[in-house]
Amino acid sequence: MSVVADTAVVCSNLSFSWPDDTPVFQGLSLTAGAGRTGLVAPNGAGKSTLLRLVAGELRPTGGSVTVTGLLGYLPQFLPLADHRTDTLTVAEVLGVAPAIRALRAVEAGDASEENFTTIGNDWDVEERTHAELDRLGLGALTFDQSLRTLSGGQIVSVGLVAQLLRRPDVLLLDEPTNNLDLAARRRLYDVVDAWAGCLLLVSHDRALLDRMDRIVELDHGDVRSYGGNFTAYEEAVQLRQAAAEREVRGAEQELRREKRDRQQARERAARRAGNAARKLPDAGIPKIVAGGLKRRAQESAGRAQEAHTERVGQAQARLDRAEEALRDDRPIVLDLPATRVPAGRTVFAGEGLQVRYGETAVFGDVGGEGGSGVHGGGVDLTIRGPERIALTGPNGSGKSTLLRLVGGQAKPSGGRIRAADGRVAYLSQRLDLLDLDRTVAQNLAASAPEMPPSERMHLLARFRFRAGGADRPVGALSGGERLRATLACVLFGEPAPHLLLLDEPTNNLDLVSIGQLEAALNAYQGAFVVVSHDERFLARIGVNRWLHLEQGVLSEPGGA
């Protein structure tokens, strides 16, 4: 990569609306210079749309986007994935197929001008390509290998290699770790650490964001830039939040004081008017003079009331501004005593579990010696309360299948399952437990029919469903809102769950929603098994037992 001097992405007074006139940005200005910039915001704020504008996939409705140098772009949803059943090869996806064919022809003695033109200066294209594939753990792939033989994570990594081979000066990455297992994530981190040009990425992977030089936050169309990595950004946001909370408290006190002063002024004016009305008949003052005095007193009282009302309005405006600056991303505070499981109580036991799809063994009976967790060619798994278990392993190793066995959504091909009494709740990454046509309140009523309606509404308010929020259909909710609704229905369902199963729960969540999920799991007192490649998330939810599933063997390494 030959980095262009002053490599940068510059968005000037950028505006964009969808064809139905739904606005996304209005007058947004942003500069990302050399170095690594992480772009954060809630889901739906327009992060991916902004990258598409920078990449030239979308045209702004106002303002401009300027990119200095050659640009590479890895979108969140790769067009490659739509062709996995077609005949695309790895070399074609990488964009090196023509050069490699020309090299082969030259090596075979075909010295045509067309071959030399195709090769250009890329005489080392094979070596460079193999080096980049090795760098991302794809060294076993061949150039003529069909794309349909690759996993989703491998396709993402191949897409990244394709961009790196172009040697861009500016690289855009949109949620690059979404489909990557832990090993692939760590290789991506190494690429990011070594990046010398301009990098602009969107991610909810906090370990990746901690490798940034700066964090840019989109907040209701405004742009705020923070020097340092994501941890520094979190600290700065916490300081701003604390200051905003102090401002809200001060504004609330001022508003109460001004309202009290206004009321006291009204009462004093009423007493003075009453006293004057009683004294005037005995004062011997002509009626016309008395009327003038009364009118002037009323006008004076009216002006005083106007002044007090104006001060109340100013205090209310200050409170409104203070509340606007207050972020609604505070953690959910819960108390879940009904989910408590006594220490050592068995909530699931499986012996010699095997799963086969036709001739293919997912785990159990896959050959070789079984390590710990293998029983007679199958998997042994015992879960006791209140264990917090992380289930790791490469993509495709059968982690989701094992969760479905534990949750009763699938039957083993062999082995024996002994589940204890108690409800098991399964949360897939699609968050598809709730009825999309019912409202949030109706879903909770179905999950907890014995809970009094007033208690249900109070509970939903704790999950940030206030005013009419509880009456919205689940199908109209954002991803973060759907997570909160699902957690409310699962954690407070009847009976309370004693075992939670979570399959990649953070994959489609924004950073605020991940924090709320962490708070809920930290309040939960039962056992859980979570499949996740997010190391920061696993650390924050207090995982105390690690299981690893690979090549049909479930082992217990004792750590990540």
Low-confidence stretches of the chain (pLDDT < 50) are 81-85, 366-376, 560
Distances (CA, A) of 494 to 177, 262, 344, 425: 36, 51, 23, 11
**Separation of alpha carbons 279 and 274, rounded Å:** 9
Do 272 and 228 share a structural domain?
Answer: no
Indicate if 365 and 222 belong to the same structural domain: no
Q: Going by DSSP bridges, is the β-strand pair 423-427/497-503 parallel, antiparallel, or unpaired? A: parallel
Question: Is the residue at 41 inside a domain?
Answer: yes
Please give the Cα distance from 538 to 9 (Å, whole number). 34
CA distance 514 to 332: 11
| Residue 223 CA to its chain's centroid (Å) | 19
Q: SS3 for 406?
A: helix
Q: Which residues pair with 548 in a beta bridge?
A: 392, 555
Q: Residues 354, 411: contact at Cβ < 8 Å?
A: no
Query: Under DSSP, is residue 14 helix (H, G, I), strand (E, B) or coil?
Result: strand
Distance of CA 150 to the CA centre of its chain: 26
Residue 369 confidence (pLDDT): 42
**Is there a single domain that holds both residue 353 and residue 266?**
no
Q: Which residues, 6 or more positions from 218, have their beta carbon under 8 angstroms from its beta carbon?
A: 39, 40, 41, 45, 46, 47, 50
* Same-domain status, 544 and 451: yes
CA 65 to CA 29: how far, in whole Å? 9
CB distance 549 to 402 below 8 Å: yes
Exposed/middle/buried for residue 357 (C-beta within 10 Å: 0-12, 13-18, 19+): exposed
One domain, residues 433 and 300? no
CB 414 within 8 A of CB 383: no
Q: What is the pLDDT of residue 300?
A: 66
CATH number at residue 433: 3.40.50.300
Q: Is residue 330 in some structural domain? A: no
Structural domain ending residue among the three candidates 206, 233, 260: 233
What is the C-alpha to C-alpha distance for residues 391 and 407, in angstroms, rounded to an integer? 14
The two structure tokens encoding residue 391? 């289930």
Hey, what are 428's tokens?
Answer: 């897939």
Domain co-membership, 215 together with 292: no
Whole-number Cα distances in Å, 316 to 70, 261, 328: 51, 14, 20
CA-wise closest residue to 553 among 367, 332, 282: 367
What is the DSSP-derived secondary structure letter of residue 560?
Answer: -
pLDDT in tens, 280-330: 555 556 666 555 656 666 666 667 777 878 888 888 888 888 877 777 676
Which tokens go with 189? 């981190």
| Phi, psi for residue 420 in degrees, rounded to 5 | -80, 165
CB 560 within 8 A of CB 183: no
The rounded distance, in Å, linking the Cα atoms of 150 and 181 is 14
- Is 331 a member of any domain? no
Cβ atoms 487, 463 nearer than 8 A: yes
Interacting residues of 415 by C-beta distance below 8 A, sequence separation 6+:
350, 351, 352, 353, 354, 364, 375, 378, 379
Q: Is 73 in contact with 172 (CB distance < 8 Å)?
A: yes
Q: Cα separation of 16 and 59, whole Å?
A: 8
224 with 296, same domain: the answer is no
Structural domain range at position 413: 337-555
Domain contains 560: no
Indicate whether 51 and 183 sit together in one domain: yes
The dihedrals phi and psi of 456, each to the nearest 5 degrees, come to -65, -45
Q: How is residue 25 written in tokens? A: 């940005």
What's the confidence (pLDDT) of residue 293? 53
Quote the pLDDT of residue 249.
86
By DSSP bridging, strand 374-375 and strand 378-384 are antiparallel
- For residue 187, the one-letter residue type is R
Name the domain boundary from 205, 233, 261. 233
Quote the CA–CA distance of 141 and 82 in Å, as a whole number: 20
The whole-angstrom distance between residue 335's C-alpha and the CA centroid of its chain comes to 24
Is residue 413 a contact partner of residue 354, using CB atoms and an 8 Å limit?
yes
Domain for residue 24, yes or no? yes
Q: CA torsion angle for 160, 161, 165, 169 (degrees, to 10)?
A: 30
Q: How far is CA 102 from the centre of its chain?
A: 45
Q: Which amino acid is at 158?
A: V
pTM above 0.85, yes or no: no
Domain-embedded: residue 411: yes
High-pLDDT (> 70) share of the chain, %: 88
CB 176, CB 156: distance < 8 Å: yes
Last residue of a domain, one of 275, 290, 325: 325
The pLDDT, as a whole number, for residue 560 is: 47
Residue 419 and residue 542 in one domain: yes
In order of 339, 415, 494, 498, 548, the CA distances from 346 in angstroms are 14, 18, 20, 10, 20
Q: For residue 242, with 0-12 CB atoms within 10 Å meaning exposed, 13-18 middle and 19 or more buried, which class applies?
A: exposed
- 279 and 222 in a common domain: no
**Same domain for 316 and 425?**
no
Please tell me whether residues 453 and 541 are part of one structural domain. Answer: yes
Based on the structure, what is the number of domains in the chain? Answer: 3
State the Cα–Cα distance between residues 212 and 228, nearest whole angstrom: 7
Domain annotation covers residue 1: no
* In a domain? residue 3: no
